[in-house]
Amino acid sequence: MTKRQLIGLHVLGWGLWASYIGLGFYLDHAKRSFAILTYTLLLVECAEFYLGYLWVFPRYLRRGRLPQLLLGVAGMMGAFITLRYLLEEVLLPATIGISNYSPDTTFSHYALDNLYWGTSYMVLSAAVWGLENAFRREREHQQLQREKTQAELAFLKTQINPHFLYNTLNYLYAEAYLVSEPLADAVLRLSDLMRYMLTESPDGTASLQHEVDYLHNYLALHRLRFEDRFFVEMDVQGAVDGQRIAALLLIPFVENALKHGVTSRPECPVRISLRLPTPRKLQFEVHNHISQHQKDPTTGIGLGNIRRRLALLYPGRHRLEIRNDGTMHHTLLELELG
């Protein structure tokens, strides 16, 4: 369902509900004097519904956010009571001379009455958001399964027997070692890269340590290729052992930095930083000056594909910030692991 269709469905739902209320007043003449108060209450309930539907529940109705959720619910109730008071006890008396509560209404009665009327639409907004979120998660899961199946089929079409590949690379390593140690080291690192790519776990995740090793091997191959004209710094802080991450998730950012960045000038190196401020939080940053010359004719990894993969694999558990001022390119990725 598109965003426009969803908005149309909401408008239709509220319109039908307002029409149903109006039909009740049309059939019961004795209650027509309460029509204005009923519709002002409906307006306040509608505002409370969307406060929860668009802001409170999408942000806080999740594991580990109970204190924020309780504050958000209290804020919704406070907004409901305040808006209802302004409409029914300030605006209506000043304009048409009617109000909902008599002057002798006690505070306890006013509070209980508002809790009663405010709770129902609060629960309704949570239920509607939860239902829509469940359908959205199911669609994303189905799409992820389809994409995974397509990737597996594509892989099977081009699969090389891993044992044949490793045995061949080991042979090349042994032969290259007799000729050149740097060449032998390159073959060994290439073997490690291929091994990581072909031995990904069934659930698509890998050890964070293996992902970091992959990045180091990838950069080492580039250093062998460009020798003393390759200036890239990579810093790893925190314990990466025992953590798991979606396989090959970080390499596209490094690939793009090497493809579009300046790597041959020592005064402006590409800087790569991976930090774990807590055991379950990862911060990955890449800084590079932007090169004015295209160094690689391939298209590389598109930003849209990266965002799509993050949305599917880490929904609500990631933040991707990319800044480009024409001179510097900065990428910051934050992930909640586990």
In a domain, 105, yes or no: yes
164 and 137 part of one domain: no
Q: 187 exposed, middle or buried (CB, 10 Å; 0-12, 13-18, 19+)?
A: buried
In a domain, 21, yes or no: no
68 and 148 part of one domain: yes
Confidence of residue 111 (pLDDT cuts 50, 70, 90): confident
pLDDT exceeds cutoff 60 at 301: no
Number of domains in the chain: 3
Q: Which amino acid is at 76?
A: M
CA distances from 95 to 91, 104, 172 (A): 6, 21, 90
pTM here?
0.52
In a domain, 115, yes or no: yes
In DSSP terms, which residues pair with 185 in a beta bridge?
Answer: none
Distance CA(197)–CA(218), nearest Å, equals: 12
In a domain, 278, yes or no: yes
182 and 243 part of one domain: no
306 and 320 Cβ atoms separated by less than 8 Å: yes
Domain CATH number, residue 323: 3.30.565.10
pLDDT (average), residues 294-309: 64
175 and 111 part of one domain: no
Ranked by mean pLDDT, the top range of 32-41, 111-120, 157-166 is 111-120
In a domain, 119, yes or no: yes
Q: What is the per-residue pLDDT for 297?
A: 47
Q: What is the per-residue pLDDT for 187?
A: 80
84 and 100 part of one domain: yes
Confidence of residue 336 (pLDDT cuts 50, 70, 90): very high
Tokens 């290439």, located at residue: 190
Q: What is the dihedral of CA 308, 314, 318, 319, to 10 degrees?
A: 10
DSSP states along 22-63? HHHHHH-GGGGGGHHHHHHHHHHHHHHHHHIIIIIHHHHSST
Chain center to CA of 231: 32
Tokens 């929904």, located at residue: 315
154 and 168 part of one domain: no
Residue predicted with more confidence, 10 or 189: 10
Q: Residue 61 belongs to what domain range? A: 31-158
Share of residues in the chain with pLDDT > 90 (%): 30
In a domain, 18, yes or no: no
Tokens 């990904």, located at residue: 200
Distance CA(124)–CA(314), nearest Å, equals: 27
223 and 309 part of one domain: yes
318 and 231 part of one domain: yes
Among residues 158, 187, 220, the one where a domain terminates is: 158
CA distances from 273 to 10, 51, 89, 234, 282 (A): 45, 38, 58, 6, 10
76 and 147 part of one domain: yes
Residue predicted with more confidence, 302 or 292: 292
Residue 160 gets which letter from DSSP? -
In a domain, 50, yes or no: yes
In a domain, 14, yes or no: no
44 and 151 part of one domain: yes
103 and 138 part of one domain: yes
169 and 292 part of one domain: no
